[in-house]
Each structure stands twice: as C-alpha cells, then as structure tokens.
Structure 1
Amino acid sequence: MSANSTKTVLVAGGAGYIGSHTVVLLLEAGYNVVVADNLCNSSEESLRRVRVLTGCAPERLVFHNVDLCDAAALGKVLEACPQFHSCIHFAGLKFMIEEILKDFVKSDKGKDWAIDCLRYFNPTGAHSSGDIGEDPNGIPNNLMPYVAQVAVGKRECLTVFGDKYDTKDGTGVRDYIHVVDLASGHLKALDFLEKKGCGWYTHNLGTGTGYSVLEMVEAMKKASGKDIPYKVGPPRVGDLACVYADPAKAAEDLGWKAQFGLDEMMRDMWAWQSKNPNGFSA
C-alpha cells in the first residue's frame, strides 16, 4: 500500500457513475475514502461492489447517506473525520459550483485552497469487470445508456435527434471518454494540486476526438452483437453539430491522457449492461 493510505478523500456523490469508478482508483492508489451521497441518482450497491472489487478493509471506505444541502448532517460527517486531505465533488450543478469556487478561492478564507475544475466530455464505458457502470434513473437522458438499453432489449428503439448536421453522416458529433480514464484524471489532479499549491485551475478531460451518433450506435452493435433499431427525429433546440475537447492542458499540467479508445468503451459498457440489464436493482 502506498503512502496515500494516511490520506482521506471526501467524495461527494461518490456512489454515482463517475464517483464509484473514481473511488475504485482512489482505494487502489492507497487513499482512504469517505463518500457522502443522498442516493437520489445512485445506489449504495455500487459501493458494496467497489469494496468487493478492491478488497479494501471496511474502515478504508466509509459511506454517509447525507444530503449536502443539509448543513447539520454534513457537519456531523466533517466532525467524524476532520482531517480530509482533499474533496472531490460530483454532486452539484457544474456551472454554479464553478462560479462559487472561483469567488471562494479569491476570498480571505479561500486563499489557502487549491482547486481544480475538471470539465468532462461525455463519459461512457464501465469498469472492465462489468460490476459497476452507469445506472440512470428512469429513461436515460444521455445517448449511450439509451443505446445500451436498446441493445439489451430494455428499450425498443433509439431516437436520433437530427440527421442533417454538417458532419460526416449528418448526426451530431461528441467527444466520448471512457469513465475509467475520466476517473484517473481526478487522481492526476490531486497530485497536481499537491505539487502546484494554492490557486484556481481548470482542465478539460476528453479525448480530443469526436464520434457521431451513428458511429456510436455501430460501435455498440459491434461490441454486443445485437441489432440496435433507431428512427430519426427532429433536432433538439440548442444542439450543436460538433463538440469535442482540447485536452492539451491536461496533458501538459497533469501528465494525463485518455488511454482507452472507442472499442474499449463499448466492450466495457456492454459487459456492464449485459451483466446487469436492470442496473443495480437486478
């Protein structure tokens, strides 16, 4: 076990999709982890599986079912473990948290803080074991969970919103990143902040490569061996034709670069979905 075993990280929203994969890597790196999550869009079962995957001692992963908006309840969590090395926050509105933290780090109370805002680009995939993955409540809002649910037979058909964009096949292009790559970016950020010191920093965590909706559908068909029927619907208001990251700053500052490609994303996502067709409630 590394020297990080003496350091404890508070992970807000750590029972969720990205959070649970990050907790796995934190534990494997030797950190102790305290998860605070009200389970409004996640499951405590994910943490039970994390314990099995990592073989960690019970005291190294502690869970508190708490709403971060409940100041009294959160205060008890902080009192129970007052020596946090750092905090990773998955449990809020991204833009608003960024604006709050920008102001905070400029204040007298925040001047001794080191904060890194990690900007995500369409996480997909799952842990290679297939034991933890994305389990959205109700009808998925994101493309790939919906595609995977069609592949496993849980949904009848995918709706593709628009096929007349200025892209190679007319469908929208986005930057998809394997969730384990995204999780590893958080550990790299912790190392960076420890070395860099106080201040405000931002980094894009993406691959820099865009894939269209139909390319993602074909990739899942290849991984699953299943047909994925789809129909074309009207484009959604506000959707752009093409959005992808420039991850150069993350490579330069953090020494981080995505390691997994599209085939690995789909392979691991299908391992999760086929093994858990009803998610954590199975």
Structure 2
Amino acid sequence: MAILLTGGLGFIGSHTAVQLLNAENDVVIIDNLSNSETEVLRRIRKITGKSPKFYEGDIISSETLDIIFLENKIESVVHFAGLKAVGESTEQPLKYYKNNVSGTINLLQTMERYNVHKIVFSSSATIYGSPKSNPIHENYARSATNPYGRTKLIIEQIIEDLDHEKWNAIILRYFNPIGAHPSGLIGESPLGEPNNLIPIVLKVANSELKCLKVFGDNYDTPDGTAIRDYIHVVDLSDAHVKSIDLLSSRPYGLSIFNIGTGRPHSVLEVIDIFEKVNNISIPHQFVERRQGDVGECWADCSKSNRGLKWRSHFGIEDMLKHAWKWKSKNPSGYLSVNHHDSDVMPL
C-alpha cells in the first residue's frame, strides 16, 4: 500500500516524502511542476536511498488521477497541491478557487471512487485571519482575509462536511515553515519572486539583493516589527508522519491540529539571529506595512502535542543555519532539468 503526496515535489512535500520513505512507507507523488523541479527526485533518492514513484500532472485532471489510482494501491493521501501566493490570489481569485478548491473536490471524488478515505490536508494559519489574542488554539474563530486563505477555509469546510463514519481526515494548520533538510540537499526553491521573509533574507545574504525590506516598524510589539511562529520544515514533515500513524490507528474521524512551535520571533529577532549564527550581515530598511499583514500570530500546540504525540525539536538557530546551508550549497535553487526524463511516469 502506498501514500500519495499531491504537490509532493514542493518545499514541504519533498521533506515529507523523505520522512515517509525513511519510515519505510511506499510513496507516490503527483506534481505539475509549476513551482518545483524533478531534480528534487534525485535529491530525495540521495538522502533516503529510495525513490518515490512520480507522475507529472495536475489534480484538476480526473484522467491523471484515475491512472494513478489504477496503477497504485493508494491507502492514504497527503494533500499539499495548491497555489499559495497571497498577493497573486487577490489579483487572480478565480485562478485560486479553480485550482485549489475545484482541484481538491476532484481529488476527493476520485478517492471516493477508489474507496480511499484517509486524507491529511495541508491547511494554514491564514484561516485565523487577524487573531484577537495569542497563542491561537484550534477552536478560534476562522476569518480568512484574502482569496488564498479563503480557499484553505473552504477546503476545510468541505472536509468537515464529509461523512466521518467513513472518511478519516486530519487537517494540519501550518504556521511559518522555514529551514531546510540538514544535509543541504533539499530546501525552499521558489521559481518566482519570493514574498516571504526567509527566502528574501537568503537573497540578501547571497548578495542577490542589496537590502531587506522590513514591512512595518510600528506594530504593537516589543520592537515594532511583526511576530510570527516559525517552524522547521523537518519538524513539520514529521507531523505528517505522525498524522499517517494516527489515521492508521483508527477506523474514521476528523482531527484538526496547529503545527508550530509556540515560540514566536519578531522580524528583527530573526535578522539578528541569522546574522549571529551564520556570521553574515543583513542590511535592512523599514518600509510601510503590507496590507493585510497582522502584527502577531503564534500557535498553541498543546493539542498536537497530545493528539499526534508530536512536538517540534529544532530551534530558530537551527532553522536559520539549515536555511543558509541550503542556499550556500544551492545558490540558484535546483538545477534546471528536463522534466520528461526517466523519473517521470508516462501518462
């Protein structure tokens, strides 16, 4: 029996593939390569000594999903696939609703046809909108503030509406994944311009940008900059392994878990720690806040500690050291490769 990872060559998906393979699972990946490279497959093999089965394709295609489910004994699905740029989602909302929501519906319908009812869904802390207090517990009100966040919220609601005397589902609400595999072989490699903090810090550290723009210095926080809950991508990936274990231990049900550390850091703290652990200066300047950014957001992880028997292990220093190791070894991210090579299953 195999575990299907949608969007499995992306930042979080690739690290989860490594963790699942190391835990002796068979892994099948579907990815449309819109924000990833097949080079990831070689890196996964180098780390684990094992190869996931890979299909280039999109979950919006029923034909592609049918081929995957016919050719493999899929037992459960970890659903990462989706567009994720907040700014782009406000400019092209229909693109996001079609890809994220319609794609998920198509995936769930395919799972239903093949009698596969175990799913782990990659959600986000964006569904909490602007929290009134911190840390954030899973029962806090949901109020997404942009189309990307609303797609995550809609998908959560769809999964909640399923028959949970048949379906077995876990929703993981990620906070801010950063870092990279300690080997430096896989990490975050956005094909477009990054809009989150750490990839931009890495560009400045690598002299690709002269200066880091810090959005806002007048938040109601100790140093005036925004505070976030950063989690190492390996810890986050481990939460998926624990989720698969939980699904395997029960016949059905629905569980929702925050995945963070509960140890928040401000933007200025992150810059300072990065400079110290990597001995690199990060020039920065303050600019106006970005519309929609919240001042503070961090997780209460007590439920995931208990329910998943999971907790984070890496501190912010390791996150930033591993991120820089990845960047310094791979300054241009993954090498460009021919997508249609022997690693790709024909459709």
Cα distance in 1 for residues equivalent to 2:76 and 2:227:
35
Matched, 1:80 2:134: no
Shift of residue 95, structure 1, vs aligned partner: 2.5
What residue is the counterpart of 2:153 in the other structure?
95
How does 1:85-124 map onto structure 2 within 5 Å? 85-92=75-82, 93=100, 94-103=152-161, 105-106=162-163, 111-124=165-178
Q: Which amino acid aligns with 1:101?
A: I
Q: TM (normalized to structure 1)?
A: 0.92
Q: Which amino acid aligns with 2:301?
A: P
Q: Which amino acid aligns with 2:53?
A: V
What residue is the counterpart of 2:341 in the other structure?
none
What residue is the counterpart of 1:226 in the other structure?
280
Q: Which amino acid aligns with 2:258?
A: N
Is the contact between residue 148 and residue 220 of structure 1 (CA under 8 Å) also seen in structure 2? no
Match of 1:279, SS state, is coil
How does 1:1-282 map onto structure 2 within 5 Å? 7-56=1-50, 58=51, 61-81=52-72, 83-92=73-82, 93=100, 94-103=152-161, 105-106=162-163, 111-281=165-335
Match of 1:171, SS state, is coil
Q: Which amino acid aligns with 2:78?
A: I
Shift of residue 256, structure 1, vs aligned partner: 0.5
1:179-218 superposed Cα distances (whole Å, 9 cap, x missing partner): 0000000011111122233111100000011100011111
Cα distance in 2 for residues equivalent to 1:155 and 1:46:
26
Deviates more, 1:41-50 or 1:94-103: 94-103
Pairwise CA RMSD of aligned residues? 1.3
Is the contact between residue 151 and residue 224 of structure 1 (CA under 8 Å) also seen in structure 2? no
Match of 2:334, SS state, is helix
Deviating beyond 6 angstroms after TM superposition, the runs of 4 or more aligned structure 1 residues are none
Is the contact between residue 154 and residue 277 of structure 1 (CA under 8 Å) also seen in structure 2? no
Is the contact between residue 135 and residue 279 of structure 1 (CA under 8 Å) also seen in structure 2? yes
Match of 1:267, SS state, is helix
Cα distance in 2 for residues equivalent to 1:96 and 1:45:
33
Report how many residues are paired. 268
Match of 2:54, SS state, is strand
Shift of residue 224, structure 1, vs aligned partner: 2.4
Match of 2:75, SS state, is strand
Shift of residue 264, structure 1, vs aligned partner: 0.7
Shift of residue 111, structure 1, vs aligned partner: 3.7
**Structure 1 unaligned runs (5+)?**
1-6
Deviates more, 1:271-280 or 1:188-197: 188-197
Q: Which amino acid aligns with 2:8?
A: G
Deviates more, 1:117-126 or 1:225-234: 225-234
Q: Which amino acid aligns with 1:77?
A: I
Shift of residue 21, structure 1, vs aligned partner: 0.3
Shift of residue 223, structure 1, vs aligned partner: 2.7
Match of 1:34, SS state, is strand
Cα distance in 2 for residues equivalent to 1:197 and 1:125:
35
Q: Which amino acid aligns with 1:96?
A: I
Cα distance in 2 for residues equivalent to 1:183 and 1:168:
31
Q: TM (normalized to structure 2)?
A: 0.75
